[in-house]
Structure 1
Amino acid sequence: MPKVLNGNLDALKVVLAICVVALHCKVFGGNDTAIGYMLGNGLFRVAVPVFFIINGYYLFHTLSEGHSFSKWFQRGLCMYLFWMLIYSPFYVDPATLGSLKGVLGVVKSLLIGYFHLWYLVGMLGGGLILYALRHAPTQRLITLALIAYLIGLTLQYMRVYYVLPNPFLQHFNQNDYAARNFLFMGFPFMCLGFVFAKHKITQTVTRPVVWIWLVSGTALMLAESYTNYSLRANPQLYFDFMFSLPILTPALFMLACVYFRAATSNVPAKVSSAVYYIHPLFIVGALAAGMAYGNLLALLVIGLALVAAPLLIALSKRVRFVL
């Protein structure tokens, strides 16, 4: 008998993947306009954290049903290495591979993930932490996750608004990976999904509560992003962490769960993964062809990614870790 899936949760994943594409294409003027800023440094930022919540939710079920964590990890690792190989021309310079600096550069890229592939590093690292703490009391899990997220949030806001007196620390904190990593983002949001599954929160929360939660979280995020825009936060720096993220993202996840729609096909989930992993190739190609960032680029890249999705899905039936 086919496994029953949540069709609305998979549909949400497709929407979130499209949000990532729109963010990377700098729709509505990107950080240079109020609406572009509130999307790119606001609402679109929910995508990857919600992915992490979903990862944590399913990881709990994977472990509770007796499946192997090592197989879960190995599949994720193979997927990561496959896509890092696909994108290797963008971070591997053959001319420098013979030098120590060149080799260290490649190792660094493999450790933190090229561009959007940091998400897979975040999932794998967050999963390892959750597996190590899987028997810990819920209160301890939530406390550790909150502390980790608050550290990342502090580093994020310091990065934008405060210059550290130590030049090395200031330089380090200007890098995305200083805060946006498996410890400060992957683990906290995966922990949320893990706890929701452990205590069956999705089966007890009511729809009115979720809607109030969702509207409140959206209002807070819009207010926070508009405040940052009004304060003329450095437009070259993005907000991966926000005070409102841990409020809005669980509500989005819950919304798909309280409006459960039974499905047996995993195609929408595969489409989401395909769009997420392949879209930077189309962005680079379009930019090289002379297109500019903006709405037209986003529409083109989304269209091309959706066209490529069936091909990747077909390939994944032969090579499972592609998607």
Structure 2
Amino acid sequence: MKAFSYLSAPDVATAVRAIADRPNAKFIGGGTNLVDLMREEIERPDTVIDITRLPLTEVEELPGGGVRIGALVRNSHLAANRLIRTRYPMLSQALLSGASGQLRNMATVGGNLLQRTRCLYFYDDAAACNKREPGSGCEAVGGFTRSHAVLGTSAACIATHPSDMCVALAALDATVVAESVRGERRIPISEFHLLPGERPDIETTLTADELITAVELPDVPVAATSRYRKVRDRASYAFALVSVAAALEVTGGTVSAVRLAMGGVAAKPWRAREAERLLLGGPADVESFRRAAATELAPAVAQPGNAFKIELAQRVIVATLAQLLAEGSAA
């Protein structure tokens, strides 16, 4: 690990001033991803700015019915929060499926948003990786690709985004709140993470001197009837092969509201907008779910090792929506 300086920030203003004055600095909260990257020398900051003392640890109800989540709220605390469990169960379930209890007790909401890919080639400094070293190539293409993306890929990168929490946030139309010396900026979650294009090393629209201070969830009534379903190689906290965050409301046999997002299939949480478009206002039945899922996955481009993901993603969408439909009918 490269030697670095350490600074503890007592407040947000000090934190953002400190990083503005130190171009090669990184904020650290829980450190569950950053420390690993520093050990591997993928991240090599000159200064680490500790933000764990900042007052960003509350989950608060907003006047309009939404919820504001401080960036330093631990994943375990957020998953157990009453407002989240009752209004946004898909988010609670996503957090609980994402890591062991020990990691959830350390990991923060802000850090979860900034997780970097778990691609094997990204972590292997003997392999070419455009995400780690722009312009070096991508050895994942034509390599071992079981965990890699099938949507939104490019010739430069086929890595997937690892977060479960962010899939639920995508389905909920969350807003990321960031602070810098220039003031506050609000970033829709749909615009926060980037697809690889020609620069897979640029993963978010957050600038190097911005600090995530909160995530805000709008009032989404349909989210009260929601589920997060995750398919993985083993039950003990593996990353998703495919995951689905879904919410469904049915009125008189017709889909009156629906939210869908997928994980494990792209370099960012994938909002299934085409599937939502087809479902909304149509019949709430398994055949409609199948058509919508097939249409959403139609643009998918597979590698030899991950072609199974295309059908798997469709099946997980259908199964999750069917479960929500059955639960709604039973109620």
* TM-score for both structures, normalised by structure 2: 0.29
User: Between Structure 1 and Structure 2, which shows a larger proportion of helix residues?
Assistant: 1
User: Between Structure 1 and Structure 2, which shows a larger proportion of strand residues?
Assistant: 2
Give the number of the structure with larger relative contact order, counting CA–CA contacts within 8 Å between residues 6 or more apart: 1
* TM-score for both structures, normalised by structure 1: 0.29
